[in-house]
Amino acid sequence: MIAPQSRNGGVYIENEWIEQQALEVREEKARKPFADFVAKLFKHKGAVFGAVIILLFVCTAVFASWLAPYEYDKPDISAVLQPPSAEHLFGTDEFGRDIFSRIVYGARISLRVAFVAVGISLVIGTVLGALAGYYGGVVDYIITSITDIAWSFPTTLLAIAFIAALGTGVENVIIAIALASWAGYCRVVRGQFLSLREREFVQAARILGMSDARIIFRHMLPNALAPVIVMATLELPKAIVIEASLSFLGLGAQPPEPSWGVILDSGKGLLDQAPWISFFPGLMIMLVVLGFNLFGDALRDVLDPNS
């Protein structure tokens, strides 16, 4: 697209033209209007199945206080280690607490940890990746070096290290997962910015004298978000598994909090007497991870420019 000409023949660049160029790049990458994108996404059977599972768990977390038939932390000595029945759908644990109620409330912990931790890591990684890709040079070298160091450690192991420094608890688990998982976003966004910074609309914005912040966050970042959104969707189940693992090891949520990892830990010594204690939270973890993975895979397929 050629910039409009001024009356005296000189070329000038209007803000509106810059905005239009940025919009055209977004449309070029998205290819189709949002409504068509949603229609294409939900033609994918995996997206539908995954979305249904995710919606069920989100509703369970939101309406936990209405869905749970018992208090999750109230022991009942007369109902110790009862198997699944009409009275206790998923059975009871060694203190007589209803497993179903604890799993329902545990959905709140798992989803809160996942969404908040992934949100924080996404912001950190996106900002650092944008700065590295836009400025290059020394800034890129420093950020890339830090990213490579963080990337070299397994996420769970790095999260354990942060927990060792911060202490146990759900809030510290959120911080630990966020600090351990931002590097992937940084690498993806940096790669996107390296390709975008030479585009015509970015060069025009520089000539016009727009601030770096406006160029980065108004014009370039929206064009780099598609792979980041897909990655975040696939990182959510990973965060749920890490939270459950840390709680199982006694490093995350602490009893009597109804984290799925805590419930798994309480049932590990009772597998021969009461296998339902560990079976049902393990099943919930498997289902919610399956839902996010199916939806994330479908989202990746739909956003693939070659599809």
- Does some domain include residue 116? yes
Which uninterrupted H or E stretch holds 242? helix 225-248
Residues 133, 197 contacting (CB under 8 angstroms):
yes
- Segment 155-214, tens digit of pLDDT: 999 999 999 999 999 999 999 999 999 999 999 999 999 888 888 888 888 888 888 888
- Does some domain include residue 70? yes
Quote the CA–CA distance of 274 and 83 in Å, as a whole number: 7
> What range does the domain containing 141 cover?
41-303
- Does some domain include residue 35? no
Q: Kindly report the backbone phi and psi dihedral angles of residue 11, in degrees, each rounded to the nearest multiple of 5, phi listed first.
A: -90, 130
* Cα-based distances in Å from 300 to 54, 233, 235, 305: 17, 9, 13, 10
What is the longest distance spanned by two Cα atoms in the chain? 92
The whole-model pTM stands at 0.83
pLDDT at 34: 61
- Segment 118-168, tens digit of pLDDT: 999 999 999 999 999 999 899 999 999 999 999 888 999 999 999 999 999
User: Which DSSP string do the residues of 125-159 spell out, in sequence order?
Assistant: HHHHHHHHHHH-HHHHHHHHHHHHHHHTS-HHHHH
Which uninterrupted H or E stretch holds 61? helix 45-62
Q: Is the pLDDT of residue 306 over 80?
A: no
pLDDT at 294: 92
For residue 292, what is the domain's CATH number?
1.10.3720.10
- Does some domain include residue 31? no
- Segment 229-253, tens digit of pLDDT: 889 999 999 999 999 999 999 999 8
- Does some domain include residue 174? yes
- Does some domain include residue 146? yes
Which residues does 22 contact at the CB level (< 8 Å), separation at least 6? Answer: 201, 218, 219, 220, 222, 223
Mean pLDDT within 72-86: 90
Q: Kindly state the DSSP code that residue 86 receives in the 8-state scheme.
A: S
What is the number of domains present in the chain? 1
- Does some domain include residue 50? yes
Tell me which of 112 and 45 has the higher pLDDT. 112
- Segment 2-40, tens digit of pLDDT: 444 444 444 444 566 666 666 565 555 544 466 666 777
Residues 114, 239 contacting (CB under 8 angstroms):
yes
**The two three-digit tokens of residue 103, written as one number:** 């799993």
- Does some domain include residue 148? yes
Q: Kindly state the DSSP code that residue 5 receives in the 8-state scheme.
A: B
